[in-house]
Amino acid sequence: MEHIINFNPNDVASDSNGIFGLPFTQDNAALVILPIPWEVTVSYRLGTSRASEKIAEASKQIDLYDADAVDMWKKGYFMQDINTEILNKNDYLRHCAELIISNLMEGGSTNEHKQLCNKLEDINEAGAWLRDTIKATTLALLKQGKHVALLGGDHSTPLGFFQAVGEHFGDFGILQIDAHADLRTAFEGFTYSHASIMYNAMQQVPQLKKLVQVGIRDYCDEEILFINQNPNRITTYFDHEIKRRQYNGDTWKNICDDIVNQLPTNVYISFDIDGLDPKLCPNTGTPVPGGFETEQIYYLFNCILASGKKIIAFDLNEVSTGDNKQANIDALVGARVLYKMCNLMMRSYNS
């Protein structure tokens, strides 16, 4: 605790300190955040590859007192520097992906163009490389006794993170907060598409025993079929069904209890920011009307802890300010969601 003896949490955050204005290094922090600047396969709007730097900047506006997890920040939170190799690959391959997507939107076929086929192969190989890189980095930190979280980037980023969590902790379940089901198979030809993350997780993470999806409101026939074919491994709480229960007089507490009861003891939270009402994330890549207030989701997370289940790891993704440099609401909301998730995970380990 020596490193925070002279730190005053009531002061203005210092630019010389790290995430949330905290004075921790990777060595003395209990929780390490991995920023992954990757958005190669996004389908609509860009910006999430720069999320970590925007969130880090906004995070210094947060007051550290959290009534849900008092003084958990004292355990230490640290965000690594951005991996420039990942960022450089992202920037080049995103241009390649745009050519492929543009051709598809014009009614073309990737297979009819040798150059596009080569670009697609490069993108898919890079997706596998990113998965393996994140897995190795995460496993190394977990073996050092660190708690680890991932900050995207788009929603394709945590696949290797899932694999590392499974190898380290054993069987677990994912609570997915999202507007989208993300169960498409190689969407637009991209094996590691952001729209395929949960399909890939179901195929490539044997320790993933249950996927519980909450707030889903944008999905296709293929995804509904996949959900229906896997009733023991996937439970989906569609946004319209949640709203209908509430309109008929049911309480959010009852709905949260139902959700928590579907989860195993070890819970991983995958939070796509577009699971929130789009007024809170207007620049996210694919906003969808509907969704939640942040306090509803925090309540759900608290219900997990109240049940005695453990939050073992989490990711936060799809935060973006897009091209609007004044649209800081996305980064501010993202920073506050990130801080809450850090605090609640540390409370889970220290209760």
Residue 342 · residue 34 · CB < 8 Å: no
DSSP 39: -
The CATH number of whichever domain residue 322 belongs to comes to 3.40.800.10
| Residues spanned by the domain of 174 | 2-349
The per-residue pLDDT for 351 is 74
Burial degree of 107 (CB within 10 A; 0-12, 13-18, 19+): exposed
pLDDT digits (tens, 9 = 90+) for 257-269: 999 999 999 999 9
Total tally of structural domains belonging to the chain: 1
pLDDT digits (tens, 9 = 90+) for 57-90: 999 999 999 999 999 999 999 999 999 999 999 9
Taking only the tens place, the pLDDT of each residue in 310-343 is 999 999 999 997 665 555 799 999 999 999 999 9
Q: Is 164 helix (H, G, I), strand (E, B) or coil?
A: helix
Q: What pLDDT is recorded for position 111?
A: 83
In single-letter form, the type of residue at position 153 comes to G
- SS3 assignment, position 2: helix
Average confidence score pLDDT of the chain: 95
- Taking a C-beta distance cutoff of 8 angstroms, is the pair 127, 192 a contact? yes
Burial of 202 (0-12, 13-18, 19+ CB in 10 A): middle
**pLDDT digits over 255-298, tens only?**
999 999 999 999 999 999 999 999 999 999 999 999 999 999 99
Supply the pLDDT for residue 324. Answer: 59
